[in-house]
Amino acid sequence: MAKHKAMCWIVCILVFVGALNWGLTGLGMLMGSNLNVVNLLLGAWPTIEEIVYLLVGIAGLVFGYTVLVSKCCCCMGKCEK
C-alpha cells in the first residue's frame, strides 16, 4: 500500500509540473518570451527533456484513469467506492 501511495504522489507531482509548465509556456508565448521551465532547465540535454515530457504525459494518463474510472485521487485523500 505504501508503494502505491508513493507512486500516486509522484503522479500528482508530475501532473502539477506539467500543468504549471503548460500555463507558463502559454503565458510566455503571449508575452513573446520562453517560459517553458522544462526547456529552460533541461534544454541542454534534449533526451532528458523528452523523457520528462514522456513521464508527465504518462502521469496525466494515470491520473485521468484514476479519477475517471476509480472516482479516486490520492491528492484528495478520500475515495468513492
Phi, psi of 64 (to 5 degrees): -60, -45
Which cell goes with 68? 475517471
Which cell goes with 23? 500555463
pLDDT tens for the chain, residues 1 to 81: 566 778 788 888 889 899 999 999 999 999 999 999 999 999 899 999 999 999 999 988 888 888 777 766 666 565 655
